[in-house]
Amino acid sequence: MASDDKCVLYICLFCAIVKGAIPSFKVYETEHSLAFLDISPVSEGHTQVIPKYHAKTLLDMPDEYLADIGPAIKKVARATGAEQYNILQNNGKLAFQHVDHVHFHVIPKNTPTDGLVLSVDDNWPSRQANKDDLSATLEKMKGRFAALKRRPMLYQCATAGVLYTSGDIIAQQLIEKRGLRNHDIARSARLGFYGGFLFGPIITKWLQFLQRLEFKTPLRGVLYKTYLDQGLLTPAVVAFFFGSMTLLEGKGISEATERISDNYVPTLIRNWGVFIPAQAINFTYVPPHLRFVFVGVVSLFWNTYLSSVNAVSVEHPHPHPHAVDASLVEVGEKQE
């Protein structure tokens, strides 16, 4: 067994079953799904149906796996021979999920005391809802559906624009101590434009690309995605940032080249110090639909740093590569 397969045993019980590291009573299998008997059944034929993709909750599952697992559940339900049965799927600890890998219970219900036993009074705490309550809930859900349709681009680009603008405001007010009267609005606008119209589309498509990649084990997925993100995308984005900001300031290609040369190496090294551990956490623990938000929170502080470094480059065109932090202090003193 390869070393990465052994790691699966410590990461996910169901991944180990998929890999064959833990034996199971296999009932049914497809390219994307696996069904096996529950070893602590609540009724005869109690079966677990899982995707061969490590997704903690339903929202983390790629659509092709969802499309495959539905017919698999139907086949398993038919194979139990039960005319009545429950399909149970839990998401999160509060919802009684005990294994952090999506799984569907197929539970035959042959007698009142067999299988899943629920008390309507105790286990189904329903309450009377009036039309106004239902209408308000409907509008909220419609809004979320609309947001989901545009989130891959418009929502995330807008978020990136806000984050870059906020980072520059923090840089000017807290680090450089410019004060509201001396705040450079054009500079904040340039950062917001870069985040919303230049960086936003790139990072949105990039995260979608990483999400589509499949790996044999979760650990390998985290390592490769972090490597691709920080080894391929980041070096290009750091140069793209300084070059874009120089051009947005109305300067030429030669000035952009000089600014990239002056700031590229120290900025890239500091980026790796922040984002290699941050992205490792992101790809390991954060659901795919929330990864952009997580990156955004970390980026708010990083954008503050980038804005300050770019501002130093404007006032000091050829800083010593290891004197960036000292220059920031100098800029702050000049503004007071």
The 10s digit of each residue's pLDDT in 30-72 is 999 999 999 999 999 999 999 998 888 998 888 889 999 999 9
Q: Which residues contact 224 (CB under 8 A, 6 or more apart)?
A: 213, 215
Per-residue model confidence as pLDDT tens digits over 126-137: 667 788 887 888
At 102, phi and psi to the nearest 5?
-50, 130
Domain extent, residue 157, equals: 149-335
Contact between residue 35 and residue 76 where contact means Cβ atoms under 8 Å apart: yes
| Any domain includes 140 | no
Per-residue model confidence as pLDDT tens digits over 191-221: 999 999 999 999 888 988 887 787 777 778 8
**C-alpha pair distances (Å), 226 with each of 199, 201, 221, 234:** 19, 19, 8, 11
- Find the CATH number of the domain harbouring 27: 3.30.428.10
Say if residue 101 is in the same domain as residue 216.
no
| Any domain includes 131 | no
| Any domain includes 87 | yes
Say if residue 191 is in the same domain as residue 266.
yes
Active site residue 46: no
| Any domain includes 21 | yes
Say if residue 102 is in the same domain as residue 221.
no
- Asked if residue 321 has pLDDT above 50, the reply is no
Give the end of a domain, one of 78, 103, 118.
118
Residue 320 banded pLDDT, cuts 50, 70, 90:
very low
| Any domain includes 130 | no
Contact between residue 35 and residue 23 where contact means Cβ atoms under 8 Å apart: no
Say if residue 89 is in the same domain as residue 177.
no
Say if residue 184 is in the same domain as residue 303.
yes
Catalytic member of 46, 54, 103, 105: 103
Say if residue 199 is in the same domain as residue 245.
yes
- Asked if residue 258 has pLDDT above 90, the reply is yes
CA distance 220 to 209: 16
Cβ burial, residue 325 (10 Å; 0-12/13-18/19+): middle
Rounded to two decimals, the pTM is 0.57
pLDDT value of residue 48:
95
Which string of b and e fits 103-127 if b means at least 16 CB within 10 Å? bbbbbbbbeeeebeeeeeeeeeeee
| Any domain includes 136 | no
- Asked if residue 282 has pLDDT above 70, the reply is yes
Q: How many domains are contained in the chain?
A: 2
Say if residue 221 is in the same domain as residue 306.
yes
| Any domain includes 143 | no
Say if residue 228 is in the same domain as residue 80.
no
